[in-house]
Structure 1
Amino acid sequence: MLLISLFIATLFLAYSNGANDNFKGVATLFGSRTSSYQTAILWATFTTLGGAATATFLASTLIKNFSGKGLVPDAIANLPEFHLAVAIATGLTVLIATLMGFPISTTHSLIGALVGAGLVAIGLKVNFAVLGTSFVLPLFLSPIVAIPFGAAIYSLSGYINSKWHLPVNQKMIDTCHFLSAGVVSFARGLNDTPKISSLILVIEYFSVQGGMITIAIAMALGGLLNSQKVAVTMSEKITSLNPPQGLSANIVTGILVIAASLFGLPVSTTHVSVGSIFGVGLTGKKANMGVFYQILLSWILTLPTAAIISGIIYRLLQG
């Protein structure tokens, strides 16, 4: 019964993740009116599934990182109760943010949930050194890198165009924009699927490949059915976008997230994507600082919220 509950809770987490995250890769397509909402989310779903499939071969490091091993003793990390508390707490945290329209990090939520359950299980014996080097540092650095990188790429493209007066073919820009959005969504599937899959691999029935495929399907459904509020925030509220700005933001996000996946660094696609979009918005002085600060606050609250929920659930499961 406990393993069935873990399976259902992990699917719930994957659904919540898809609802909050799937549209982020294609937000610039919709925001710049390069495509309709329906076309954008279908493209995101297809390319995210492609990334998830590829993750079964390339992302074993992330599976190990998010199993809890190294953060807490293996005896705790292998308990279904531990994984169940983490899955429920992460899913609830992400779903609440989704319903409020805030694009938060599932990665950040997972880390908070792992820490919360770990603190209840073993107190201050949680390996905070591993937490800092393997999790927190990459998460905080990713938006710091993405904002200036996004601004620089867009400014550079504008400079090159003005310097050499290159003819701009709108159809070519739109094609590149679609491809870049696909790359971002692919990268998100590559980076997020193994993190969630790690929670159900204590169920012996699942192989790594089987777990990831199951998670990918649930993520796709979440994105198709519940992306609207986060879509509006990402596409319209952070900044107004034109196609070249959207293309620049997507190039930055794709490069950073794919590089992180290959090196096993658990960066947040959310942090990178929001940072890139905000960065290009700054160059045109159209970035909405108020909305950006609200998103930052939601990021700050993500980890403690997930930790508190996870700690409470793990204590309840202990009976």
Structure 2
Amino acid sequence: MGRVEIATAYVARPLIGFGAALIFVLLAVLVAGIVFGFAPGTLFVVIAAGLGAYMALNIGANDVANNMGPAVGAKVLSLTGAIAIAAIFETAGALIAGGDVVSTISNGIIDADSVADARVFTWAMIAALLSAALWVNIATWIGAPVSTTHAVVGGVMGAGIAAAGLSAVHWPTMGAIAASWVVSPALGGAIAALVLAFIKARIIYREDKIAAARKWVPVLIGVMAGTFAAYLAMKGLKRVVSVDIGAALGLGAATGLIAWLAAIPVIRRQAAGMENRNKSLKALFGFPLVISAALLSFAHGANDVANAVGPLAAIVHAQESGAFSDRVALPAWVMMIGAFGISLGLILFGPKLIRLVGDQITKLNPMRAYCVALSTAITVLIASWLGLPVSSTHIAIGGVFGVGFFREWYMQRRAVSNRQRTAPPLTLPYAERRRRKLVRRSHFLTIVAAWVVTVPAAAALSAATFRLLGVLFG
């Protein structure tokens, strides 16, 4: 009997998360039924509420890992601490700064006139929501952090094609999104590599590391504070206050200057008595990394809650008014489904991808993880200034790869230089060269492949779902 109990607990433990997720989805359905009552179209709203909750869970399981993974991999935060901080700040970002109004046609992906009928519009949004959630779920299962924004875009595109043909899609917009597959990770990786190169040149490989750190770490903290102030003003506080790029940069510059001046005495006290070695330097980057991870989670909650419940809000509006609208308000109960769903998905299913991003792509320490966080914020700001549609997921993962590939290049260059000074060139076998790589190529190929197929996979699922809904309810 004792062994049966142990076996039962072993088998049942993985099902706890699925059970809790199912209860949350059922609660969302119940809330939608109570709020909407017996009005016409209640069935569609109830279905969409369940799918919105399912999508929110998947966003929490997949997307949030990009913000917390580097801090966990650098061992600045424990997995439990990272989940707690992310859950708090994701929920706060969604409820405090989540958009009052969302675009229901995903920023012009399909022609609004092609889905002017309220019934067709409702089916299209349900199909988009279900397909995006399914694809993100599949990506999480195979261990690939993907863009939930791109999944929603693909879902909307597929439903639009199924409803009105290829002519319904705004192909220039889709072309810009496709270009972001390359631009986002490349720019994030390049900036992360440049920041790491700066840290190596100015701090790590100096004779007096602690003196160099006292000089440059406050500057880096100021840059981080200024960047995140501008980032939050542009991307994370749209509901509270709306600012243009110029005002955001001005706010960032002022915040960065204040943070730099405030950090000088703090870093001086913290560095007092430290040994002149790299381990001491890592301690100076720990707290800034935790703050950056929390701010990234806040901005993510504010921005990506619309991915989970934007189509749900659109369906609610269409059923209440009998017509579609290109932009609709997010009711409070809809926003809460998205906010709490993202946090619950992170708690239940997030650890898998947090470990992958933090530990399994490349080895991170506080300095490298700091480079990833800073590059994410800088790249989003640059993209906003240029008007490029980028994915924070692609940027963050690109930053991790950028740090890893830069370390490979740098160590190979130093090894070649040392051999040239001490001995003839040494040719290593291919297997040994591959073993010495600092970035795991299997994860690199899996993630890139998942990025490439996200939009077409979500589109195909959405088109099939739309056709099925037409057969069932037509």
Common topology (TM > 0.5): yes
Q: Which one of the candidate residues 182, 185, 189 is aligned to 1:143?
A: 185
Deviates more, 1:166-175 or 1:237-246: 166-175
Cα 1:196/1:69, change in 2 over 3 Å: farther
Distance (whole Å) between structure 1 residues aligned to residue 439 and residue 360 of structure 2: 9
Q: Which one of the candidate residues 298, 305, 310 is aligned to 2:450?
A: 298
TM-score normalised per structure 2:
0.62
Contact preservation (8 Å) 1:89, 1:310: yes
Q: 1:150 is paired with a residue of what secondary structure?
A: helix
Per-residue deviation, 1:67: 4.2
Contact preservation (8 Å) 2:185, 2:398: yes
Q: Which one of the candidate residues 92, 108, 111 is aligned to 1:72?
A: 111
2:56 corresponds to 1:14: yes
Distance (whole Å) between structure 2 residues aligned to residue 189 and residue 264 of structure 1: 21
2:377 corresponds to 1:225: no
Contact preservation (8 Å) 2:108, 2:170: no
Distance (whole Å) between structure 1 residues aligned to residue 94 and residue 380 of structure 2: 14
Q: In the alignment, what sits opposite 1:208?
A: 330
Q: 2:76 is paired with a residue of what secondary structure?
A: coil
Q: In the alignment, what sits opposite 1:255?
A: 378
> For structure 2, which runs of at least 5 residues remain unmatched after alignment?
1-42, 215-279, 321-327, 409-437
Distance (whole Å) between structure 2 residues aligned to residue 7 and residue 67 of structure 1: 19
Per-residue deviation, 1:186: 2.1
Cα 1:241/1:219, change in 2 over 3 Å: same
Deviates more, 1:201-210 or 1:110-119: 201-210
Q: Which one of the candidate residues 298, 302, 305 is aligned to 1:193?
A: 305
Q: In the alignment, what sits opposite 1:177?
A: 289
Contact preservation (8 Å) 1:54, 1:190: yes
Q: Which one of the candidate residues 421, 434, 440 is aligned to 1:288?
A: 440
Contact preservation (8 Å) 1:6, 1:80: no
Cα 1:298/1:219, change in 2 over 3 Å: same
Q: In the alignment, what sits opposite 2:213?
A: 166
Query: More relative contact order in 1 or in 2 (CA 8 Å, sep 6+)?
Result: 1
Count of aligned positions: 316
Cα 1:244/1:34, change in 2 over 3 Å: same
Per-residue deviation, 1:54: 4.4
Per-residue deviation, 1:145: 0.7
> For structure 1, which runs of at least 5 residues remain unmatched after alignment?
none
Deviates more, 1:237-246 or 1:261-270: 261-270
Cα 1:71/1:296, change in 2 over 3 Å: same
Q: In the alignment, what sits opposite 1:126?
A: 168
Distance (whole Å) between structure 1 residues aligned to residue 384 and residue 331 of structure 2: 17
Per-residue deviation, 1:39: 0.7
TM-score normalised per structure 1:
0.90
Q: 2:125 is paired with a residue of what secondary structure?
A: helix
Contact preservation (8 Å) 1:100, 1:229: no
Deviates more, 1:12-21 or 1:262-271: 262-271
Q: In the alignment, what sits opposite 2:467?
A: 315
Q: In the alignment, what sits opposite 1:85?
A: 127
Per-residue deviation, 1:266: 4.3
Q: State the structure with more CA Rg.
A: 2
Counterparts in 2 of 1:33-112, with a 5 A limit?
A: 33-57=75-99, 60=101, 63-64=102-103, 66-67=105-106, 69=108, 71-74=110-113, 76=115, 79-112=121-154
Aligned-residue Cα RMSD (Å) equals 2.5
**Identity percentage over the alignment?**
27
Paired AA for residue 159 in structure 1 = A
The superposition leaves residues 6-63 of structure 1 with CA deviations (integer Å, 9 ceiling, x where unpaired) of 1111111111111111222010111111121111111111222233234435x85xx2
Per-residue deviation, 1:139: 4.2
Contact preservation (8 Å) 1:177, 1:247: yes
